[in-house]
Amino acid sequence: MIGLASQQDGLYKFHSSNLASINSISSTINVPCTSVSSVTCNSSHSIPVKALWHFRLGHLSHQRVDKMSSLYSSIINDNKATCDIYQFAKQRHIPFTSGLSHASSNFELLHLDIWGPLYVSSVHGHKYFLTIVDDHSRFLWIIVLKSKAEVANHVKSFIIMIQNQFHVTPKFIRFDNGPKFMLSEFYASLGILHQKSYVETPQQNARVERKHQHILNVGRALLFQFKLPSSYWSYAILHAVFLINRITTPILQNQSPFQVLYNKLHDILLSKCLVVCAMHHLYKFT
């Protein structure tokens, strides 16, 4: 912390007692240069003449300043100068390593996340959707929601469905720190361990985060193809998930999520009939 400030008329004003410490910090940030000539900015430090245009142009790279100097003769650039401010400004997060772990069996690990609110409510008033991904099969489930308050009941119902239909209880559930997923007593009663990602680190739940982009891309393509308004997005993403689950992927050695989960191929002709029926149902609304 470099000081305290109070809000006045929409701006933050530093207290006078902190100005000395701030100036002492700013004086340590300068641009080393072999040139003796310099321009004094204040009493604490000075800027070398050859670095002036680097500062004036928003700390451009040497290559860009060279391009500008070819257009304006007054611009001078020193390619040998170094600038700490430029290095600080260019700092980025270290790339997040992609997870190489893969659950060894179906429903060993489930990834959960919520997308929304969408800028257009669906024809039935939905604003969100809950995404569930099985880590082993990559099979997707989507549940459309009118509010986040519905999440807890849907999560419980989903786990009960898995127990009845697949005769297995998930071992781990991974999600962000959202309170809508905090069902500690329910998880403990079934022996499920819940894993939370660190705050402001959605990359740790990237498996489901990436699925959102895939779902929305396919959903938009379906809306454009059939010239439907955006309010039909709930139908589009539900059908997008139906398709994604039945399309082969190199992640699963060119098998489909449906094939890995059910250990059989889906009848693609049945899918064709379902598409026609679904589109006919949508056109009845329009």
Is the pLDDT assigned to residue 16 strictly greater than 90?
Answer: no
User: What separation in angstroms does the CA of 36 have from each of 32, 49, 82?
Assistant: 10, 9, 15
Q: Where are the domains of the chain?
A: 5-89, 109-285
For position 235, what pLDDT does the model report? 92
Strands 172-175 and 140-145: unpaired
The DSSP 8-state label assigned to residue 16 in this structure reads G
Among the residue ranges 15-19, 35-39, 87-91, the one predicted with the least confidence is: 35-39
Instruction: Give tens-digit pLDDT for 241-256.
Output: 999 999 999 889 999 9
Averaged pLDDT for residues 115-133: 93
Q: Any idea which fold 109-285 has?
A: Nucleotidyltransferase; domain 5 (3.30.420)
Residues 138-197: tens digit of each pLDDT: 999 999 999 999 999 999 999 999 999 999 999 999 887 777 888 989 999 999 998 876
Of 101, 93, 92, 127, which Cα lies nearest the Cα of 207? Answer: 101
Strand 172-175 to strand 193-196: parallel, antiparallel, or no bridges (unpaired)? parallel
Is the pLDDT confidence value at 36 over 60? no
Instruction: Please give the backbone phi and psi of residue 173, each rounded to the nearest 5 degrees, phi first.
Output: -130, 130
pTM above the 0.85 mark? Answer: no
End-to-end CA distance of the chain: 58
**Would you say 145 and 126 are in contact if contact means Cβ atoms under 8 Å apart?**
yes
* Six-digit token string for 254: 């060119």
> pLDDT (tens digit, 9 = 90+) per residue, 224-242?
988 889 999 999 999 999 9
Round to whole Å and give the CA distance between 212 and 113. Answer: 9
